[in-house]
Amino acid sequence: MPTFNLKVNNEKHTVEADADTPLLWVLRDKINLVGTKFGCGIGQCGACTVHVDGNATRSCLLKISQAEGANITTIEGLSEYGDHPVQQAWKEVDVPQCGYCQAGQIMTASAFLKTNPSPSQTEIRDAMHGNICRCAAYNSIEEAVKVASEKLS
Amino acid sequence: MAPSKKMTFSRRSFLKSSALASGGMIIGFNLFNACKPEAKLPVDLSALNYNDFNAFIKISEEGKVTIFSPNPEIGQGVKTSMPMIIAEELDVLWEDVYVVQAPLDTKNYTRQVAGGSQSIRFGWEPLRQTGATAKQMLVNAAAARWGVDASECSAKNGVITNAKGDKLGYGDVVLEAAGLEVPEDVTLKDPKDFTIIGQGKGNVDIDKIITGKPLYGLDYKEEGMLYATVLRPPAFGQILESFDDSEARALPGVVDVITIGEKVRAYNDSGKNSWTMPMSGTDKVVVIGKTTWDAMKGKKAIKAVWKTETALESSEIHDKVLLDLLEGNKFNTRRQDGNVKQAFANADKVLERVYESPFLPHNCMEPMNFFANVSPEKVRLVGPVQTPEAAAQVVADLLERDLEDVSIDMTRMGGGFGRRLYGDFVYEAAEISNAIQKPIKLVSSREDDMTMGVYRPSSKYKISASIKSGKITGYHLKEASINGNMYGLIPNFFPAGAIENYQVDTANYKSNITTGAWRAPYTNFLASAEQSFFDELAEELGVDRVQMHMDLLDNVKNNPDANIEYSPERLQGVLQLAIEKSNWGKTEVGVFQGLSVYYCHNTHVAEVADITMEDGVPSVKRVTCAVDCGIVVNPFGAMNQIKGGVLDGIGHAMYADFGFVDGVPKSNNFDSYQMIRMGQTPQVDVHFIESDIDPTGLGEPTLPPIGAAVANAIYAATGNRINKQPLINNLEPKEKVLG
């Protein structure tokens, strides 16, 4: 089985896996970072969103062979003390219901706000449209992205 | 699931207290049964006994409070709100309270499940009693130390004060308090003095959720654990004939390939099983892998041959049989007032409509999964299930083990919506681990999850009303559904009691497609049907639809009936509030409104949907939701449940299209099944009726009414009545029937 070198949350990991293994399962089963969630496996729900070189990326679609050399950030590495402005906003607004999709929502929001720190409501709704929340906490997610953008600007 | 009307508690016999070996005091209580007099509390936390006590409070010598929250958490917020009720009466600072999910004991535990929006309603009185009793014991201990009467002392925020102004913290007196008699009578707070209840408190797991800590079943791991995927028949009605696993076994990550199913079939044949289990009549091929991906890849490499055992059913067939049932005479009459037949015979006019809904999968974001480790000594199960005690019993029966050998630990659940009431994935995990005698995690892909459903059954309603001299004289509701019908008191919900001649009939068709509870079972579509019908009925009568409801509800006030548990006054209250807050009838040009008012799960709700039409497609812009749930325990959690229920309801009423072709589900993932997304969601404005009535639940009741509010708004915008869900598929008017 081939070996791959990954850089996740600023730590280096050497992982043995089939070349077609999605990054999602490498993170969860091999590196023990289970904050990144499995939802659909086909890039439709966004629960598995991580940052690859700063861009929001579906880790269920990215093969480990494509992830070598990239800077990968997961929810566990978004901030050292869980106090990234987006995490703070999620806490202030009390967004989660079941909470399962929220890591993906937070990773999508944080990558988006980096490129657009003062978005309009329409831009927020467009940016978050790819992430499904089955509990439909959408009003709160929308508000939390707004609160986070205020913290950032 | 229907609750009894009166809840009585032996005032404090459900409570016991004890000093802990590790220091501090523990109070055990049983929410639903009075404790047996011989029940003993442990002095060691590891020996918490969930047979006699299903929840515990620990107060340490530092005054910190740990509450072992009794009920499963599926996102409905009880892990936060139930401890809030205890903390309120105990009178401690919420910041000093630490909440942990109570684990399960193996021995005959008595326990509430998460379901039916009943946790808060049932828990309210005993949780308050528990907190207040503990507080009184602490006050009594302080009073004894000071040598004063307890009535001269007061307690607030974890500090007891006497008449002289001396102070003692709860922690200072816990050891003495633990040795005192449990007081017979305690005084509960006046709701106006609440300082925690009614204040928004954040989700107690928030820090773990936003930093990605392991919380859910899918996150649970043990040393040596393997991963198992299960290959099931592609169609309901098929069973396994043979399979070739040579390619799968050649994969480096595949550890083993086995079959399961025999134990479940034997259990079903024994007649013991009363639980719905999808695809339980067949053998299933299980691939055991070193990682989730290995097991998933291995499953794809299995070449299986299936054979048809029972009929392969299609949605076309269901549509036909349900419509035939509505026209037939195989009904059970569930409520009958007056004489509907006569009212219809004497009518000037009869309005009759048919309403149709599809099957729905639950689609919890966390796909079904469970950990099992079966060994000769014990059966250890860990994961997300809404009915842990039933699952433990079934596993014990299935594996022919003593119940004492079986333990279940609950994880946080990535959604439930009814799906995790059914423990089929627990039994499969147990059967797999039993076969290989190793710890395994059963994992499902989204495709597995959506195609091994216990679906919301497709249902159809035929509603007829008779009109005589401009009045509604009769109302006849017929339900045709699959594998079951509306249960409990639903036939007594509004408009029961409002119309003199009233009848509810139900009929059902037995299918081999597994069906079951889905958020607000039956009412999730019944409310859409009835409230769409009333909108049309008001138009037919030429009366204002708000006034029509007010008048109908007035009729209920004059018609006392023990089976009617909704309150006409409270329904009128929410209706008026929704009308006032939504600017009903005063919208700007291009905005159209629809109204819906409904009672279910003991909570009264009225909703107004504001929509616009964009390129012929409706877009819901705002929902005004008025709720009477009595006292609002945790406004944060309440708002989340209410808004989530409304948006979930819009999503499923508008877009959810599911069904079967020759037994095969039409969709198996989110590319072919539309879930509501942020761009399709309106802002939900929530308004509570201020109340000091005991609280009721919020997990379900805001979902059922919204489908009709949206359909009625679409009618206002387009002149088309859409009586079939998903609404988006049926926007085009049907052929006009002339005459």
Q: Residue B672: enclosing H or E segment and its boundaries?
A: none
Q: Are B292 and A25 in contact (CB under 8 A)?
A: yes
Q: How confident is the model at residue B1 (pLDDT cuts 50, 70, 90)?
A: very low
Q: How confident is the model at residue B33 (pLDDT cuts 50, 70, 90)?
A: low
Q: Considering CB atoms only, which of B211, B291, B363 is closest to A30?
A: B291
Is the pLDDT at B260 greater than 50? The verdict is yes
Residue B287 — left, alpha, or beta (φ > 0 → left; ψ -120 to 50 → alpha)? beta
Q: Are B702 and B649 in contact (CB under 8 A)?
A: yes
Is the pLDDT at B105 greater than 80? The verdict is no
Residues 360-379 of B with CB under 8 A from A: 363-367
Chain B residue numbers touching A35 (CB-CB < 8 A): 211-213
Give the per-residue pLDDT at B71: 61
Is the pLDDT at B512 greater than 80? The verdict is yes
Q: Are B689 and B570 in contact (CB under 8 A)?
A: yes
ipTM for the predicted complex: 0.98
More confident site: B30 or B438: B438
Give the per-residue pLDDT at B41: 76
Domain boundaries, chain A: 3-78, 85-152
Q: Are A151 and A88 in contact (CB under 8 A)?
A: yes
In terms of DSSP bridges, do strands B349-357 and B406-410 run parallel, antiparallel, or are they unpaired? Answer: unpaired
Give the per-residue pLDDT at B6: 40
Q: Give the closest-approach CA distance of A33 to chain B in angstroms.
A: 8
Residues 674-693 of B with CB under 8 A from A: 675-679, 681, 683-684
Residue A106 contacts B where some CB pair is shorter than 8 Å: yes
* Candidate from B411-415, B496-500, B654-658, B682-686 with smallest mean pLDDT: B411-415
Pick from B33-47, B198-212, B448-462 the range whose average pLDDT is largest.
B448-462
Six token digits for residue B378: 């014990």
Count other Cβ atoms within 10 Å, centred on residue B588. 8
Q: Residue B675: what are its φ and ψ, rounded to 5°? A: -100, 150
Q: Considering CB atoms only, which of B205, B214, B644 is closest to A135?
A: B644
Crossing angle of helices A102-115 and A85-93, in 10° steps, is 130
Q: Are B515 and B457 in contact (CB under 8 A)?
A: yes
Cα separation of B43 and B177, whole Å?
Answer: 15
Residue A61 contacts B where some CB pair is shorter than 8 Å: no
**Hey, is B547 helix, strand or coil?**
helix
Domain A85-152 CATH superfamily: [2Fe-2S]-binding domain (1.10.150.120)
Using one digit for the tens of pLDDT, what is the confidence trace for B534-587? 999 999 999 999 999 999 999 999 888 989 989 999 999 999 999 999 999 999
Q: Are B375 and B447 in contact (CB under 8 A)?
A: no
User: What is the CA angle B96-B27-B112, rounded to 5?
Assistant: 95
Beta carbons within 8 Å of B316's beta carbon, 6+ residues apart: none
Using one digit for the tens of pLDDT, what is the confidence trace for B665-718? 999 999 999 999 999 999 999 999 999 999 998 989 999 999 999 999 999 999
More confident site: B438 or A1: B438
Q: How remote is the C-alpha of B56 from its chain's centroid?
A: 24
Using one digit for the tens of pLDDT, what is the confidence trace for A56-82? 999 999 999 999 999 999 999 999 999
Residue type, position B575, single letter: L
Residue B207 contacts A where some CB pair is shorter than 8 Å: yes
Domain A3-78 is in which class? alpha beta
Q: What is the average per-residue pLDDT within B320-328?
A: 98
Q: Considering CB atoms only, which of B76, B648, B678 is closest to A142?
A: B678
Q: Are B653 and B725 in contact (CB under 8 A)?
A: yes
Six token digits for residue B683: 């802002």
Q: What is the average per-residue pLDDT within B365-386?
A: 96
Contact (CB<8Å) B221/A32: yes
Q: Considering CB atoms only, which of B292, B364, B365 is closest to A25?
A: B292
Cα separation of B707 and B570, whole Å?
Answer: 21
Q: How confident is the model at residue B55 (pLDDT cuts 50, 70, 90)?
A: confident
Smallest CA–CA distance from A126 into chain B, residue: B679
Smallest CA–CA distance from B216 into chain A, residue: A100
Contact (CB<8Å) A37/B218: yes
- C-alpha dist (Å) from residue B692 to B94, B165, B185, B189, B713: 22, 33, 22, 12, 33
Smallest CA–CA distance from A28 into chain B, residue: B219
Q: Residue B368: what are its φ and ψ, rounded to 5°? A: -60, 135
Where does B81-177 show beta strands of DSSP type E?
97-101, 154-156, 159-161, 167-169
Query: pTM here?
Result: 0.92
Chains A, B: CB contacts within 8 A come to 183
Q: Are B119 and B111 in contact (CB under 8 A)?
A: no
Smallest CA–CA distance from A141 into chain B, residue: B678
What value does the CA radius of gyration of chain A take, rounded to a whole number of Å? Answer: 15
Percent of chain B with pLDDT over 70: 92
Count other Cβ atoms within 10 Å, centred on residue B231. 22
More confident site: B111 or B85: B85
Residue B222 contacts A where some CB pair is shorter than 8 Å: no
